[in-house]
Amino acid sequence: MTAQSITRGVRRKRTQSPLHRAIITGVSFGVMAVYLAMVGLLPMIHARAVIVDVLTMAHAALLAIGLGAGAYVARGERDKPAATIVLHGLIAGAISGGLLAVLVVAMNTIDLRSIFISLSPQTSDMLTLELDLEYAVPLLVAAAAVLGALGVLLARSPPTVRKPVLIGCSAVLFFGVFQELIQIMMQFNEAIGDVREFLYTWEGLTPEGAGAIFAIATGASVLSTRRRAGAGGSSWWQSRNGQLVKAGIAVVVLVLLPILAGSYIGQVLMLVGLYILMGMGLNLEVGLAGLLDLGFVAFFAVGAYTTALLTADSVHALATFTAIPHMSFWAAMPIAVLISVIVGVLFGIPVLGVRGDYLAVATLGLGEIVRVIVQSDAAAPLLAGAQGILQIPKPRIGDIELADPVALFFLTLVCAAVAAYFAWRLESSRLGRAWMAIRDDEDVAQALGINLVKVKLLAYGLGAAFAGLSGSIFAVMLTSVYPSSFQLLVSINVLALIIVGGMGSLPGVIVGSLALVGLPELLREFGENRYLFYGVALIVMMRIRPEGLWPSATRRRELHDFAGDLELEEPPPAVAGVAASVEHRPGE
């Protein structure tokens, strides 16, 4: 490899001309719009109004594509004159609109429905706003070009302008997309019935309601920005007391939201809480210790089955064929956590000497062993096999039974708060620093006197404790446990929420759970297509924030420093020196 090739790799982003980049951006966003139309997503969401008789979700998606093309152009040309960037935004927008125009012309001249059944006359009417073709085609190109220029102007505008506008538009979109859920929540409170009638019809936001939401959200953002500016860039909210007040407000919202919103929201929040518990456990293994574990669902299953065996009024309960009496949930939960810890330690012993990708495969195999054992005929007399264990009683506090999803959510919330405290203390403890040391380099950590066997087994055991607690609550939530509830997908989802939230970050686990577990549940009204929105959101998020939604300070610094090194115009001296020595090696 020569010095020129290394320099070319490091300077890859600088070799592309701004005009060429604008053209590529326009083509990329245009292809995205055409794809959404051809697979039928745009026609489907066109039926959902964001603002009644003004804006549908399909038109909002097309507006976002045009603005996004301009914003992406502006992001890569920060050092160019404003007029040049606006021109490139126009070009990118026009190209994206031109590709849509080509699709519209093709739909009206060629029978494409034999291949793409979603390209119906209704789709054509949606794209052309029911205009004649000779007017619709230039309008598509011109409108997309204007949107590209507006995207550049918005991206280049000062934060005091850009931030309020984006917050206002996001608020309108949020209240429009989730209008059915929000209206159902408002029905539980008659005092805000007039507000609901002002904001909504049953088809979507009213224009007046959308304007009010935009004005309130924008005004709140402007006031917040001015307050921070008046305080010299900082505010009371950033102080210790302010942080405590914000934490208190968050707790109050968590307590009141399921009470006011009803059982469905309580069920969704409870499911999020269970994944938060598992995420905090896996975060100890992967985020802190660097032990990639794909068999984590096994600990979740151990907690659930232990609770079922100790509490269920079933022929498979331990009380049926042993002297162990039926236990309450409160007595069975600590035992379930303890057994999960023991299984976690035993689970870690065979893989102590395995690292990296091989560790992921090994833990995946161990997790599958647990699943196969649970489903096997040999364990069926105890674990009931595929039939599962039924009649698990709900927790009770005195004469009060925690049967409602809202009550079980509060139980999950308390357990998650206690577990979060222990996870936080572990992260800043001597053991937590030892985990981070072996994550960075096991050999160096061992040379510094860290007992790798002890530290790794503690990571597996303590991580399993969180999963066992989550499994115990899961068992009483469903009042039954089945092997089908403990698939590999659970481990993958927990790992994904850690990556999305921010590796090694405790707040990131919470945010990742809300994004990966709560969001698909709230989008359930869109049917199976909700996973399409979910997947697109993940791709965009990982492209914009690869460090996660709420990363740890160390992770953010590592990723941004690495990205900054790749964008250097000249290669680092060490790289250039190595390349020169390779290029001029004698005898070659």
pLDDT by 10s per residue, the chain, length 588: 444 444 444 444 445 688 898 999 999 999 999 988 888 888 888 888 889 988 998 999 999 999 999 999 988 777 778 888 899 999 999 999 999 999 999 988 888 887 888 888 888 888 888 888 888 899 999 999 999 999 999 998 888 888 899 999 999 998 888 887 787 777 666 667 778 888 888 788 999 999 999 999 999 888 877 766 655 545 555 666 766 777 778 888 888 888 877 788 888 899 999 999 999 999 999 989 999 899 999 999 999 999 999 998 888 778 777 777 888 999 999 999 999 999 999 999 998 888 888 888 899 888 888 888 888 888 888 888 888 888 899 998 888 888 888 899 999 999 999 999 999 999 889 999 999 999 988 889 999 899 999 999 999 999 999 999 999 999 999 989 998 888 888 998 899 899 888 888 888 899 889 888 887 777 776 666 667 767 777 777 777 777 788 887 766 666 655 444 444 444 444 334 433 433 444 443
What token pair was written down for 534? 């979910």
Q: What share of the chain is helix, strand, coil (3-state, %, to 5)?
A: 75, 5, 20
What token pair was written down for 222? 């402007």
Question: What does the DSSP 8-state code read for residue 119?
Answer: -
Residue 585 Cα distances to 8, 431, 573, 575, 578, angstroms: 20, 48, 18, 15, 10
DSSP labels for 500-550? HH-TT-HHHHHHHHIIIIIHHHHTGGGGGGHHHHHHHHHHHHHHH-TT-SS
CA 541 to chain centre: 8
Q: Using the Cα atoms of residue 284, residue 288, residue 291 and residue 295 in order, give the sign of their dihedral.
A: positive
- Distance of alpha carbon 323 from alpha carbon 310, whole angstroms: 12
The CA angle 573-578-582, to the nearest 5 degrees, is 145
Give the pLDDT of residue 153: 92
Dihedral, CA atoms, 522, 526, 528, 534, nearest 10 degrees?
Answer: -50
Give the pLDDT of residue 238: 63
SS3 letters across 26-66: HHHHHHHHHHHHHCCHHHHHHCCEEECCCEEHHHHHHHHHH
What token pair was written down for 29? 């966003």
pLDDT in tens, 356-393: 888 888 998 888 888 888 888 888 888 888 888 888 99
Give the pLDDT of residue 316: 77
Length of the chain: 588
**pTM, rounded to two decimals:** 0.79
Report the amino acid identity of residue 181: L
Give the pLDDT of residue 578: 36
CB 317 within 8 A of CB 311: yes
What token pair was written down for 479? 């009042």
Give the strand order in the sheet containing 49-51. Answer: 55-56, 49-51, 204-205, 200-201
CB 96 within 8 A of CB 30: yes
Q: How far apart are the first and last CA of the chain?
A: 12
- Distance of alpha carbon 94 from alpha carbon 100, whole angstroms: 10
Tell me how crowded residue 566 is: count the other CB atoms within 10 A of its CB: 11
Strands 400-401 and 396-397: antiparallel
- Distance of alpha carbon 254 from alpha carbon 290, whole angstroms: 32
Domains of the chain: 10-230 (no CATH), 261-538 (1.10.3470)
Give the pLDDT of residue 99: 93
- Distance of alpha carbon 227 from alpha carbon 214, whole angstroms: 20
570: left (phi over 0), alpha (psi -120 to 50) or beta: beta
Give the pLDDT of residue 428: 85
Question: What does the DSSP 8-state code read for residue 389?
Answer: B
Give the pLDDT of residue 198: 85
